A = this chain, B = another copy of it.
Amino acid sequence: MSYAEELGKKAKAAEMSVANASTSAKNNALAAMSKALIENSSLIVSENAKDLAAAKENGMSESMQDRLRLDEKRIQAMAKGVDEIIALNDPVGQIIEGFTRPNGLRITKTRVPLGVIGIIFESRPNVTVDAAALCLKAGNAVILKGGKEAINSNKCLGSIMRKAVAETGLSEDIIQVVEDTSRDTTNELMRLNGYLDVLIPRGSGRLIQAVVNNATVPVIETGTGNCHVFVDESADIEMAVNITDNGKTQRPSVCNAVESLLVHKNIAEKFLPVMAERFKAHNVKIYGCDKTAAILGESVMKATDEEYATEFLDYIISVKVVEDIDEAVAHIRKFGTKHSECIVTKSLDNAEKFSRQVDAAAVYVNASTRFTDGGEFGFGAEIGISTQKLHARGPMGLSELTTIKYLINGNGQIR
């Protein structure tokens, strides 16, 4: 039996412990986790220091080292995140709908946990705590595979959470951290049918593609966002500048950031210079079409299909002047990743057309794409943003970590 299979077997054996736990039992376990994280802060910091030392030795960039770093303040933030999940409604046991058939059968559609969830992510160790807490609250066992750069931190966090959970009476095996971070184990996880009910990759486009291409277990794709703002001819220029600037520069490294700007030809000459002026504050680099270059001058680099397809995750944007809304929609259909798309307009017809014809998880009229987020949507914490169409689309909260079960009550009905 492979290492991944061992983890899967333990998780499957433990899943009922959390699936059938009451809301208060699960909240007790979460409270114990939160408390244990704070109590073990110095241990966590010292284990994290090992990862940081190795990272420095391997020449990891400063910004990546910062993502990896855990200090007292960040540990407190993780614990607070767990406390916030305690406050969220428990989705398990919800009766979604029900009806009685003419033959007297009573059919009830209920919400139940998914079972065992696998999560593959990259270096940030706070995901270990965040994902474990969300999965637990939704009644699931979880297998967490973090990046090898954070292995000491993740093992430490996992062992603290397992102990805390066990002390409240749940099985410790509902939370398992993969300690062997080799590629073999990752590949085995992707093919752990019968044990893993779903696998969620969180991280770079490369990681997500590898999972989509190789997994035989059901997968939820998350997080690639080549998001557009289309500035329609009737747009309020100040609003369009604010929304585009916010989408591009408020936090460029995240999936709901704006990567591409489409401008109606009739507003381009007025809008683009104001936009470019605003971008100077963050030194945003522009790849543009010929018309963009004609308006903005030589600072504009030539945009090709490659730039239009790129999720920069940086202070870089691609710009195209379009004939009309139809060209904008067609461009988004070609280059978009079905994440978040925005139109700035005063035209009701165009707002309606854009909303109907753009195929994305979240379509915005006159608001920043940065709102595609579980917290901003009011779901509380989120496990990721789904960019696929099956099961979950957009921000995935606790409900999206559940499935349904039909319960049918009869008194001897046969066909």
Contacts and interface: CB of A to CB of B under 8 A. Distances in A.
A219 B406 CA distance: 21
A74 to B, nearest CB: 21
B193 A370 contact: no
B220 A390 contact: yes
Interface string A218-245: 1110000000000000001001001101
A101 interface: yes
A181 interface: no
Interface residues of A, number: 63
B105 A414 contact: no
Interface in A389-415: 389-391, 393-394, 403-415
B99 A415 contact: no
B410 A366 contact: yes
A101 to B, nearest CB: 6
A81 to B, nearest CB: 19
Per assembly, the copies of the chain total 2
B242 A414 contact: yes
A363 B415 contact: no
B393 A405 contact: yes
A216 B213 contact: yes
A59 interface: no
A389 B101 contact: no
A16 interface: yes
A38 interface: no
A198 interface: yes
Contact of A105 (B220, B371, B409): B371
Contacts of A409: 351, 364-367
A73 B175 CA distance: 57
A71 interface: no
A415 B365 contact: no
A20 B365 contact: no
Given A20-B356, A193-B212, A378-B101, A362 B408 contact: yes
A153 B218 CA distance: 34
B412 A242 contact: yes
B415 A370 contact: yes
Contacts of A389: 114-115, 197-198, 218, 403
A394 B408 CA distance: 12
A378 B355 CA distance: 32
Interface string A372-397: 10001110000000001111011000
Contacts of A198: 389-390
A193 B211 CA distance: 13
A362 B406 CA distance: 5
Given A213-B216, A415-B250, A405 B366 contact: no
